[in-house]
């Protein structure tokens, strides 16, 4: 069985099991867990008939058969591929309960944690900082579990009204905190609480993309999507993979799939104006030279200091620059791409997906004449109806909400306000009565 090591482990430090790494979230030394070994994909993975079957065949090596089966149980919604043009495919990852790809990681993690806690007489409190989509996905995935309760922290004014309705829907065992600050402040509060000795008596963990239990299952849709595109094309040709990126968890999962055997033509990390990573790739910024976050239409990608950079950098170092291309897309270009995609392709996309499509268009426009271009797979990370204001502004059209989103509109709400200081969250966690 594979063991896991913190990105900050010192020589001789003990490695931990998957369950230990997942239940801890962040390593005690403040680092992020990563497998000590990356097993090659099982032969014939392309033939899996469903995401759940793919989970059972690929994830067992990382987490054991039981946890892999538990994860498979949470992957109960489709990941369809839509052909936008001759050689551009969109992998729709937004058909889960909260209409964003975060459902994949959150539901996987919830199932795996529940499986791990069975047999241990333990309760766990999960902290999650969210720029919108993670929080609702996690709250939804964990709601009602007997051994786990969840505190969700989101930036006041930093999420869309639809997202806020999802985040604050009253759920058993879930508290929503509206933080006077940015997403980075929320993330800092979570990190401070996890390291706070005063909270040692509360069994705390995190469900951000820093949790390895969320990240590993996310590698599955890169495999699934590639296999669907190859079927459609009738040829197994490496794809240009375009990832709308913020905290870089999604990209990390994709690079893991490639490292273990998925053939690609490369990765394109598409960022909004929060562009530390593209600048790092272009040698315009040093590693870890993060910026404060700025607000853009693709709110879930408004991350100034992406947590997973530490994971990527400690794994690949400057070799990252050889594996990933970066692109920064401004706000006006994002909305313009939404408009063009609606007009030319008759397809409404959310602002995050639009950042990916625009980055791809620029990559292709910059190619040398006659250069052979790979078909592209762009990850569609959220349903357009999650961002109706932006879609309306860009396209003049109001996206129809799918049933899974409509159910939040009328749900009873519950939310608490919090200052961006550790003391407030500490008090709330110590006083939690349920």
Q: Beta partners for 413?
A: 169
Cβ atoms of 66 and 97 within 8 Å: the answer is no
For the bound state, the minimum distance from the C-beta of residue 337 to ligand PLP, rounded and expressed in Å, comes to 14
Smaller CB distance to ligand PLP: residue 199 or 242? 242
Q: Which residues 265-294 are close enough to bind ligand PLP by CB under 6 A?
A: none
Tokens of 225: 């999507």
Residue 300 makes contact with ligand PLP by CB under 6 A: yes
Q: What are the structure tokens assigned to 106, written together?
A: 């959150």
Residues 6 or more apart from 234 whose CB is under 8 A from it?
none
Please select the residue that binds ligand PLP; options are 136, 205, 211, 247, rule is CB under 6 A.
247
CA distance 62 to 260: 12
Pairing between β-strand 174-180 and β-strand 148-155 as defined by DSSP bridges: parallel
305 forms part of the interface with ligand PLP (CB under 6 A): no
Packed helices 249-259 and 220-233: angle between N→C axes, nearest 10 degrees: 60
The minimum distance between CB 132 and ligand PLP, in angstroms, equals 6
Does residue 296 bind ligand PLP (CB under 6 A)?
no
Helix, strand, or coil (residue 423):
helix
Q: Does 352 bind ligand PLP (CB under 6 A)?
A: yes
Asked whether the beta carbons of 30 and 8 are under 8 A apart, the reply is: yes
Q: Is 160 in the site for ligand PLP (CB under 6 A)?
A: no
CA distance linking residue 407 with residue 423, whole number of Å = 35
Tokens standing for 82? 């839509």
Rounded Cα–Cα distance for residues 155 and 183 (Å): 5
Tell me which stretch binds ligand PLP (CB under 6 A): 110-118, 193-201, 222-230, 245-253: 245-253
Based on the shown chain and the rule CB under 6 A, indicate whether residue 382 belongs to the binding site for ligand PLP.
Answer: yes
d(CA 210, CA 299): 19
First-last CA distance in the chain = 37
Is 130 a binding residue for ligand PLP by CB under 6 A? The answer is: no
Place of tokens 């998925």: 262
Distances (CA, A) of 23 to 26, 126, 175, 188, 433: 9, 9, 20, 19, 22
Does residue 136 touch ligand PLP according to CB under 6 A? no
Q: Is residue 246 within the footprint of ligand PLP (CB under 6 A)?
A: yes
Q: Does 248 bind ligand PLP (CB under 6 A)?
A: yes
Q: Is 357 in the site for ligand PLP (CB under 6 A)?
A: no
State in angstroms the smallest separation of the CB of 269 from ligand PLP: 8
Which of 181, 244, 375, 399 contacts ligand PLP by CB under 6 A? 244
Closer to ligand PLP by CB, 126 or 269: give it.
Answer: 269
d(CA 52, CA 78): 10
Interacting residue with ligand PLP among 293, 381, 395, 404 (CB under 6 A)? 381
DSSP string, 342-411: HHHH-----HHHHHHHHHHHHHHHTSPTT-----EEEEE-B-GGGSHHHHHHHHS--PPPPHHHHHHHTS
| Residue 133 interacting with ligand PLP (CB under 6 A) | yes
* Residue 125 makes contact with ligand PLP by CB under 6 A: no
Q: Which of 60, 96, 249, 388 binds ligand PLP (CB under 6 A)?
A: 249
Stretch that binds ligand PLP, among 196-204, 239-247, 315-323, 395-403 (CB under 6 A): 239-247
Report the nearest approach of ligand PLP to the CB of residue 330 (Å): 17
Binding-site residue total for ligand PLP (CB under 6 A)? 17
Nearest to ligand PLP of 117, 153 (CB atom): 153
Contact (CB, 8 A) for 272 and 355: yes
Exposed/middle/buried for residue 49 (C-beta within 10 Å: 0-12, 13-18, 19+) = exposed
* Residue number with CB closer to ligand PLP (232 or 389): 389
| Residue 325 interacting with ligand PLP (CB under 6 A) | no
Give yes or no for a contact between 193 and 201, defined as CB atoms under 8 angstroms apart. no
**Binder to ligand PLP among 108, 166, 219, 245 (CB under 6 A)?**
245
Residue with tokens 């040093």: 286
Residue 166 touches ligand PLP, criterion: CB under 6 A: no
Binding mask 73-112 for ligand PLP (x = CB under 6 A): ---------------------------x-x----------
**Residue 250 binding ligand PLP, by CB under 6 A:** yes
Residues 4 and 21: their CA atoms lie apart, in Å, by 7
Structure tokens at 98: 């909260």
Q: Give the contact letters, 197-216, x = binds to ligand PLP (CB under 6 A), - = no.
A: ------------x-------
| Listed residue (379, 395, 184, 206) closest to 297, CA to CA | 395
Which residues are near ligand PLP by CB under 6 A?
Answer: 100, 102, 133, 209, 244-251, 300-301, 352, 381-382
């Amino acid at each position: 069985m594979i063991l896991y090591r913190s990105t900050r482990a010192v020589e001789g430090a003990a490695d931990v099991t998957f369950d230990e790494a997942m239940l801890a979230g962040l390593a005690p030394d403040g680092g992020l867990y990563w497998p000590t070994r990356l097993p090659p994909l099982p032969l014939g993975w392309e033939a899996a008939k469903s995401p759940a079957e793919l989970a059972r065949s690929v994830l067992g090596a990382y987490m054991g058969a039981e946890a892999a089966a538990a994860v498979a149980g949470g992957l109960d919604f489709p990941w369809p591929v839509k052909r936008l043009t001759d050689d551009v495919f969109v992998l729709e990852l937004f058909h889960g309960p909260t209409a964003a790809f975060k459902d994949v990681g959150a539901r996987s993690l919830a199932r795996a944690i529940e499986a791990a806690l069975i047999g241990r007489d333990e309760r766990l409190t999960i902290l999650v900082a969210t720029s919108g989509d993670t929080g609702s996905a996690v709250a939804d995935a964990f709601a009602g579990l007997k051994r786990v309760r969840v505190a969700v922290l989101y930036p006041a004014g930093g999420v869309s009204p639809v997202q806020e309705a999802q985040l604050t829907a009253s759920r058993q065992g879930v508290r929503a905190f509206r933080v006077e600050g940015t997403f980075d402040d929320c993330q800092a509060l979570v990190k401070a609480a996890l390291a706070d000795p005063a909270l040692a008596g509360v069994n705390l963990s995190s469900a951000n993309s820093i949790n390895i239990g969320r990240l590993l299952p996310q590698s599955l849709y890169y495999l699934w999507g590639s296999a669907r595109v190859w079927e459609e094309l009738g040829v197994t040709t490496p794809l240009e993979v375009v990832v709308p990126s913020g905290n870089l968890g999604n990209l990390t999962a994709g690079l893991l799939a490639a490292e273990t055997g998925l053939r690609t033509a490369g990765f394109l990390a598409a960022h909004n104006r929060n562009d530390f990573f593209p600048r790092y790739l272009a040698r315009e910024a040093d590693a870890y030279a993060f910026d404060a976050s700025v607000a853009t239409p693709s709110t879930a990608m408004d991350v100034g200091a992406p947590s997973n950079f530490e994971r990527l950098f400690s794994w690949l170092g400057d070799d990252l620059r050889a594996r990933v291309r970066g692109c920064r897309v401004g706000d006006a270009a994002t909305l313009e791409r939404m408009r063009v995609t609606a007009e030319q392709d008759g397809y409404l996309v959310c602002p995050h997906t639009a950042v990916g499509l625009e980055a791809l268009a620029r990559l292709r426009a910059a190619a040398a004449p006659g250069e052979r271009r790979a078909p592209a797979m762009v990850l569609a990370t959220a349903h357009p109806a999650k961002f109706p204001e932006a879609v309306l502004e860009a396209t003049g059209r109001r996206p129809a909400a799918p049933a899974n989103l409509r159910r939040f509109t009328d749900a009873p709400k519950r939310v608490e306000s919090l200052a961006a200081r550790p003391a407030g969250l500490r008090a709330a966690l110590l006083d939690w009565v349920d």
